[in-house]
Amino acid sequence: METTLTLNHFLAVSGALFAVGFAGVLLRRNIIVIFMCLELMLSAANLSLVAFSRFHIGADGAPNYDGQVLLFFIITVAAAEVAVGLAIIVALFRSRETTDVGAFTAMKN
């Protein structure tokens, strides 16, 4: 028997993707990969936004587009964040010659 797709399906995928990204942030040592895992978590959250938007049907039969507008802003902010974050990583690499997070201990103690 073929099951029908529900909101839960999409939220479960979104949550699983978020958990994968989170595990990556905790396990990896390379700062660039950690940053990529952060982006993964951000877009996992995007999936639940789109799902909620799609399942909130308004009076005119169309989805509620407010969620998709928020997603538009999230994508814009993510683009700005990546540009600044990577510039910071390049600056860190220039001073430490490594991208291993273990080497960045200037603020310890």
Partner 1 sequence: MNFLFYLFAATALAGGIGVVINRNPVSSAFAMIVSFLGLAALFIQLDAYLVGILQILVYAGAIMVLFLFIIMLLDVPSEERRRLTFGALAAAAAVAGGFLLLLGSVLRKHGAGRAILEPLDLPADAPSDVHRIGDLLFSTYWFPIQIVGVLLLVATVGVVVLSKRELR
| Spatial distance between the Cα atoms of 99 and 7, rounded to a whole number of angstroms | 40
- Shortest CB 7 distance to partner 1, Å: 5
Q: Does 107 bind partner 1 (CB under 8 A)?
A: no
Q: How far is the CB of 109 from partner 1 (least distance, A)?
A: 19
Report if residue 78 touches partner 1, rule: CB under 8 A.
yes
The single residue among 45, 59, 61, 101 that binds partner 1, judged by CB under 8 A, is 61
Site for partner 1 in 19-38 (CB under 8 A): 19-24, 26-30, 32-33, 35-37
- Contact string (CB under 8 A) for partner 1, positions 38-57, x = contact: -xx--xx-xx--xx-xxx-x
CB-based burial label for 77 (10 Å; 0-12, 13-18, 19+): exposed
**Phi, psi for residue 24 in degrees, rounded to 5:** -60, -40
- C-alpha Rg value of the chain to the nearest Å: 18
Residues 90 and 83: their CA atoms lie apart, in Å, by 11
Q: Which residue's CB is nearer to partner 1, number 60 or number 109?
A: 60
Residue 97 DSSP class: S
* 63 DSSP 8-state letter: B
From 45, 63, 101, 104, residue interacting with partner 1 (rule: CB under 8 A): 63
